[in-house]
Structures are given as C-alpha cells and as structure tokens.
Amino acid sequence: MTKTVLRVLGGEAVWPPPVWLMRQAGRYLPEYRAMRAQAGDFLKLCLTPELAAEITLQPLRRFGMDAAILFSDLPIVSLGLGQNLRYAEGEGPVLPPIRTEADLDALSLDKVAATVAPVWETVRRIAADIGDATLIGFSGAPFTVACYMVEGHGSRDFASARLMAYREPALFARLIDLIVAGNLIYLRGQADAGAEVLMLFDSWAGMLPPNEFRRWVIEPTARIVAALHATHPHIPIIGFPRLAGAMLGDYALNARVQGVAIDTSMKPESAADMVRPHIALQGNLDPLALVAGGEPMHTSARRILDALRGRPHIFNLGHGVVPQTPPENVGALVEQIRAA
Ligand code: CP3
C-alpha cells in the first residue's frame, strides 16, 4: 500500500485525509524541552543526527501523525553557503547581513555538502525508524532565505532585503541564484538519504507585489522544482508561499509543485478554485484554534475538512504549532481527522 501522503501528492483524494502539523516537533512538547535543555544550543540540536532524529519522531510516537518533517531549521542552507548562523536565546536566526558584492563574494557552494552532511545523516536515521509514516525533508525557499541573509535577523517587513531587490536587482539575483544552487545540493542529499517528500517554506512570500512575487518567489522555486525533478523525477514537492493570496494559482501552476500549503488567511474554497484539481492542498487550521481546543477547534477543523472533501488534501495548520499549545489538543485534533 502506498502511503496516504504520497497518494494525495499523486493527485488522489483520500478520505479521511492524512494529517501532520507544521512545527509538530518543538517547545510545546515536554520531551522536546528536555532534549533542548540537555543540548543547550538549538543549532547543536539541528546538527546532531542522534538528537534531531529523535526529536523528529517524538510527535509521531505520541500522536501517530501520517508524516514527520525533518527537525532542522529554515536558514541551514545559508550556513552551508558560509554565512555564520547562530540563535540568540528566545529569538530566531541571527546572521551577519549580506549587503554588498564583497559580502556575497565571501560565500560559496564549496562547503555546502560538508556543512549539511549531519542533516543528511539525520534523514537516514529517521528513514530507518519511521515505519508507515512519510518522511518530509525541507529547506527555506530562496526568497525567504534571502530575507534572513540580507536582513541578518527576523523582521516585521524585511525592508533591507526588499530594497536590495529594487535597488540592486543584479546583486539580489546573484544571491537568489546562489541559494537555488545551495538548496539543490542540500535537498538532493535529503532525497538520497531517504526523504520521500520535499517542502519549500516561503514564509515571507506574501510581502511581495505580483511582479516581484513572480520574479523572486515563483521563478526561483520553479527552477528548484525542475532541477530536482530532472534528477529525482518521482519526488513530490510541497510549496508554502505564505500569504500569497490571489497569487496562489499562479504559484501552483508555474512553480510546478505537487502540493501547495495554504496559510490561515486563505479560504479553502478559494484555494480550491485557484489551484488545479490534481494539485494537493495542505492546511489550514489556525494554530490558535489548536491552542484553544474543544468546540472552536473542532468546528474550524470540520469546516476545512468539508470544504476540501473530494480533492487531494493533507490536513495541517495554516502556520506552525505555537509553544503554548496543550499537547492533548494535538491528540484530540488527530483523532478528529481520523474519525472524519
Ligand atoms: O516540526 C518541526 O519542528 C520541524 C522543524 C522546523 C523548525 N522550524 C524548528 C524550529 C521547521 C520546518 C521550521 C521552519 C521555519 N523556521 C520557518 C518556516 C515556517 C514559518 O514559521 O514561517 C521559519 C520562518 C523559521 C525561522 C525560525 N526558526 C524562527 C523565526 C525561529 C524563532 C521563532 C520560533 O518560532 O521559535 C526559529 C527557531 C526554531 N525553529 C525553533 C524550532 C523548534 C525553536 C528553537 C528553540 O527551541 O529555541
């Protein structure tokens, strides 16, 4: 029997739909917090295969989701390109910002494989242990990785990155090209190590106007998808162009992904209208409905199930699980989907 997540990404409507949750591993789980405290440093956790593999599988042991996503982080590819990456306590990624031609000259593809090799080993270990669930590998999509690389940290608007794209498009394009090439090495290695699906997180895609969205989100994603499919023709790819809004259909069609993750703001029926019927939709429960639990969670989940019944759908959140989520609500949600 082919795994349900792979059937759905092959264009089949499966009922009840398979379910997994973005950020299903992490701080809401006491067993994660224990390992995190032991390791001390988040990046060390990402780059220690034994620990990262165990953390990846923690939510599956508890709740039995249909898929596990590799435990790692979005800007690991920038570390591979030679940009120093660290995590300040309680914050996201912090990097020395790329602002000039010379900053970019200091990066290269030479050490990508050596730097990300521990992640590939993590994938190998998960694959050996995952049983019937599907293993999803991932990286940050070029535009969102570029946002962090140029800005140097998380931001409400990533103004430096977006301004570079307007003022110095050749420089920004060179950075995007480098991330595309780095991601190809990184993601091919994940596929070779046993990842069955690959996902590209474009968390900040929705900040761009339509023309820029085509140039910096769709076009680089399409290049990655085409190149991956040239070497790994059967691996399905899920894109997550968060807050893409009306650009969602254009993205799905032209990036040539097999699945599109939809964010919390997207009406499932609208996504279904915009995206061709053989492309899977993944999403899109509000992570705060999961925090609330009970009737509000079940009603919201039911609406999504009903709206997407009859088309390929992977049940998920519209963004990641937040740390204050009661673990028992995750259990109740998975049960609801199974019993749908
Ligand atoms: O299920 C999983 O946990 C899979 C692993 C995973 C993480 N981050 C672990 C993580 C995945 C798939 C991500 C994706 C990611 N990382 C995105 C895309 C999705 C999104 O949220 O839009 C982004 C933008 C990042 C960058 C990032 N990493 C931020 C902004 C932060 C800090 C804020 C936060 O939520 O903690 C991180 C840190 C991070 N990534 C943690 C985890 C478990 C917390 C680290 C800790 O334990 O202190």
Percent of the chain with pLDDT over 70: 100
Atom of ligand 1 nearest to the CA of 32: 47
- Ligand 1 atom 38, closest CA: 92
- Is 310 in contact with 269 (CB distance < 8 Å)? no
Q: What is the rounded CA–CA span in Å between residue 35 and residue 40?
A: 8
- Separation of 322 CA from ligand 1 center, angstroms? 10
Supply the pLDDT for residue 2: 87
Rg over CA atoms, the chain? 19
Token pair in block for residue 44: 């060390």
In a mutational test of the pocket of ligand 1, which residue from 23, 29, 123, 139 has the highest number of ligand atoms less than 8 Å from its CB?
Answer: 23
- Ligand 1 atom 33, closest CA: 92
Atom of ligand 1 nearest to the CA of 70: 4
pLDDT tens readout for residues 299-332? 999 999 999 999 999 999 999 999 999 999 999 9
- Separation of 321 CA from ligand 1 center, angstroms? 10
- Separation of 301 CA from ligand 1 center, angstroms? 23
* Sign of the alpha-carbon dihedral angle for 294, 25, 338, 258: positive
- Is 304 in contact with 285 (CB distance < 8 Å)? yes
Token pair in block for residue 235: 């691996």
In a mutational test of the pocket of ligand 1, which residue from 74, 123, 322 has the highest number of ligand atoms less than 8 Å from its CB?
Answer: 74
pTM: 0.97
Residue 89 confidence class, pLDDT cut points 50, 70, 90: confident
Atom of ligand 1 nearest to the CA of 21: 1
Supply the pLDDT for residue 40: 87
- Ligand 1 atom 13, closest CA: 73
- Is 109 in contact with 185 (CB distance < 8 Å)? yes
- Separation of 138 CA from ligand 1 center, angstroms? 12
Token pair in block for residue 201: 């997180």
User: Across residues 52-76, what is the average pLDDT?
Assistant: 98
Q: Above 90 in pLDDT, residue 81? A: yes
Name the residues annotated as catalytic: 23, 27, 36, 73, 148
- Is 165 in contact with 63 (CB distance < 8 Å)? no
**Domain topology for 4-338:** TIM Barrel (3.20.20)
225: nearest Cα among 262, 265, 191, 198:
198
Q: Is 61 exposed, middle or buried (0-12, 13-18, 19+ CB in 10 A)?
A: exposed
* Helical axes 49-63 vs 327-338, angle rounded to 10°: 60
Q: What is the rounded CA–CA span in Å between residue 12 and residue 255?
A: 20
- Ligand 1 atom 3, closest CA: 23
- Is 196 in contact with 6 (CB distance < 8 Å)? yes
- Ligand 1 atom 26, closest CA: 74
Ligand 1 pocket at CB < 6 A: 23-27, 36, 42, 69, 71-74, 92-93, 138, 154, 201, 203, 320
pLDDT tens readout for residues 202-224? 999 999 999 999 999 999 999 99
β-bridge partners, 142: none
- Separation of 90 CA from ligand 1 center, angstroms? 11
User: Across residues 150-169, what is the average pLDDT?
Assistant: 97
Q: What is the rounded CA–CA span in Å between residue 64 and residue 331?
A: 9
- Separation of 113 CA from ligand 1 center, angstroms? 22
Q: What is the rounded CA–CA span in Å between residue 298 and residue 306?
A: 12
Neighbour tally for 94: CB within 10 Å: 16
- Is 60 in contact with 71 (CB distance < 8 Å)? no
User: Across residues 190-209, what is the average pLDDT?
Assistant: 98
**Domain layout of the chain by residue ranges:** 4-338
- Separation of 1 CA from ligand 1 center, angstroms? 32
In a mutational test of the pocket of ligand 1, which residue from 73, 76, 86, 291 has the highest number of ligand atoms less than 8 Å from its CB?
Answer: 73
Q: What is the rounded CA–CA span in Å between residue 12 and residue 271?
A: 17
If you search the block for the tokens 């599988």, which residue do you land on?
57
Return phi, psi of residue 316, to 5°.
-160, -175
- Is 261 in contact with 316 (CB distance < 8 Å)? yes
- Ligand 1 atom 34, closest CA: 92
Q: Above 80 in pLDDT, residue 136? A: yes
β-bridge partners, 238: 199, 259
- Ligand 1 atom 17, closest CA: 74
Atom of ligand 1 nearest to the CA of 91: 32
Q: Above 90 in pLDDT, residue 122? A: yes
User: Across residues 285-289, what is the average pLDDT?
Assistant: 98
